[in-house]
Amino acid sequence: MKHVIILLFLFSTALDAQDSLNCNLLTKTDKEFWALNITVQNNYLFTTSPSTFSIIDISDIYNPILVYSDSLAREIWRVFVKNNLVFLAADLEGLIILDITNIESPQLVSKLNLNASIVEVVVKQNIAYLGAWGSAIILVDISDPENPVELSRIDKNIDYNIDDVWDIAVNGDLLFAATENTGLKIFDISDPYNLIELLTNIGHYEAETVAVKDSIVYVGTAGILAYNISNIEEPKSIFLLEGVYASDIFIEGNLAYCAFWNQLTVLDISNPTSLNVVGKYPLNAQPMSLYVLDKMAIIPQPGHGIYFVQYDETTNVNEISLNDSFILSQNFPNPFNPATTIEYQIPEHIQNNKSLIPSGVEGSLIELVVYDILGREVATLLNEKQKPGSYKIMFDGSSLSSGIYYYQLKTNDFVQVNKMILLK
């Protein structure tokens, strides 16, 4: 747990609720509740951190109780819960299945090594749909959870023009995959032994996440893309909300809750051709996921605990434009080998004591530092004053080993940390 403790002290910021719109912070947990990916079932919050799986009783969100926590793998990316079984996407250790009949003492049911880096898991009926780096999509029969069996797989850049898969959504006989550099991929999965790609020309871009409602597919990329797939042979791009990268999308009713790199954004999707931003709340750290219960967004904030943010359209708080905000964008490419580019924006004005003041002719003192997963500084990319504007800086990881790294942008009034992956 040493690396978790170190990171808790690294990540802090000066964000203020004054930046919010129709969203209120109900409460947040202590920093000790450290999570990257979450899901909820029966008033229990299931979380993963870099190597730890935890269960938290949130029947009273103002008094969350940690009922179980254990290090089960070197890396745990995603968690999916179905009835009394938990499915963990455990990177190179494959798929881990746990029995949570006794919620305080989960029991290992099975481990399936798939010779790929498993980063996503979605379960429908008796099949686990896995997203992977190296092999893009893998289907596993879990009808006997003690003996899971691989049914089929689509390998990266071999069977199809498909890159590493970040996220998966399954709707009926269709599988939607958000891929690293090949955008949205759609497959017919009616025969789990023979996946058929339905589209090959929907676009090449970096997609982080995907969600589906009715005949509309929402893709998180540099903003939000919306596709109408009522005619699956000819999907139509119907909307683009430009912005920073969206890492997760959760749809509840006619609202889509989007975890952007620097804020929660709530979209009214009742008219998919004209998505409206109806809510915002500033975030302190990069959220990898979120979950929504009755308009309450549960958002893990690495190093800051877990936020419980209620959307309420009756409480409108004045917004501050993105032009008046520091922005640290996701590095590109990501994963990278060996070099990647980091972009950031210094605003014309900065927030000080809930008012906006000019950044000044001399500019702001900017620090851009890279840390490894243990919280050790591995590179200082910048430590100087810069004037307002947009900047790019290259990071070369030639001398570093493969793994997860964090880059932190820091000024007197702002701190943000994003994650990047060096994959050699």
Per-residue pLDDT of the chain (424 residues; tens, 9 = 90+): 223 322 332 333 333 444 688 999 999 998 777 788 999 999 999 999 888 999 999 999 999 999 999 999 999 999 999 999 999 999 999 999 999 999 999 999 999 999 999 999 999 999 999 999 877 899 999 999 999 999 999 988 765 688 889 999 999 999 999 988 788 899 999 999 999 988 655 665 788 899 999 999 999 887 788 889 988 878 888 877 766 678 899 999 999 999 987 789 999 999 887 778 899 999 887 788 999 999 999 999 877 889 999 999 765 444 434 345 677 888 888 888 999 999 988 876 554 433 333 444 356 788 999 988 777 889 999 999 888 888 999 999 999 998 888 898 888 767 777 888 898 8
At residue 213, the pLDDT reads 94
Instruction: At 164, give phi and psi (nearest 5°).
Output: -55, 145
Q: How many CB atoms lie within 10 A of CB 358?
A: 10
Task: At 242, list the tokens.
Answer: 């430009």
> CA end-to-end span of the chain, whole Å?
26
Handedness of CA 21, 22, 23, 24 (dihedral sign): positive
The answer to whether residues 132 and 167 touch, using CB atoms and an 8 Å cutoff, is no
The rounded distance, in Å, linking the Cα atoms of 155 and 137 is 7
At residue 409, the pLDDT reads 87
At residue 225, the pLDDT reads 86
The rounded distance, in Å, linking the Cα atoms of 286 and 225 is 20
> What are the residues whose beta carbons fall under 8 Å from the beta carbon of 208, sequence distance 6 or more?
166, 167, 178, 220, 221, 245, 246, 247, 248
At residue 158, the pLDDT reads 61
What structural domains does the chain harbor? 2-311 (2.130.10.10), 322-422 (2.60.40.1930)
The answer to whether residues 258 and 266 touch, using CB atoms and an 8 Å cutoff, is yes
The Cβ-side half-sphere exposure at 198, using a 13 Å CA radius, reads 18
Strand partners, 95: 89, 112
Strand partners, 112: 95
The answer to whether residues 247 and 256 touch, using CB atoms and an 8 Å cutoff, is no
Task: At 52, list the tokens.
Answer: 């730890």
At residue 129, the pLDDT reads 98
3-state DSSP assignment of residue 15: coil
At residue 101, the pLDDT reads 98
% helix, strand, coil for the chain, step of 5? 5, 55, 40
